[in-house]
């Protein structure tokens, strides 16, 4: 039985970099979505289509993106420690 743990630091560093990249992409997507909501608040798009789109942003997309950010940030921090 082998009781040794072998780390491949290059692989760990590459995984940490991927976590950072994915977290940044999700954060960017959230910011773009929030920007759309602000533009609609300012009257950039009005009407039934705008109302439906805003509803989907606020009830589906934005909460989903926020729920993704926390695990990415946790993983990003954990991976950076190694």
Q: Which residues make Cβ contacts (< 8 Å) with residue 61, sequence separation at least 6? A: 33
Give the Cα separation of 65 and 25 in Å (integer).
Answer: 10
Both tokens of 66, joined, read 């926020």
Under 8 Å CB-to-CB from 24, ≥6 apart: which residues?
none
Confidence of residue 1 (pLDDT cuts 50, 70, 90): low
pLDDT-derived band at 73 (thresholds 50, 70, 90) equals low
pLDDT the model gives residue 41: 92
How far is 48 from 28, CA to CA, in rounded Å?
27
């Amino acid at each position: 039985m082998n009781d040794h743990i072998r780390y491949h630091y290059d692989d760990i560093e590459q995984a940490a970099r991927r976590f950072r990249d994915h977290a940044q992409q999700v954060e960017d997507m959230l910011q773009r979505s929030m920007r759309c909501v602000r533009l609609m608040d300012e009257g950039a798009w009005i009407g039934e289509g705008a109302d439906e789109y805003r509803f989907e942003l606020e009830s589906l997309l934005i909460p989903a993106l926020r729920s993704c950010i926390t695990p990415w940030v946790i993983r990003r921090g954990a991976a950076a420690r190694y």
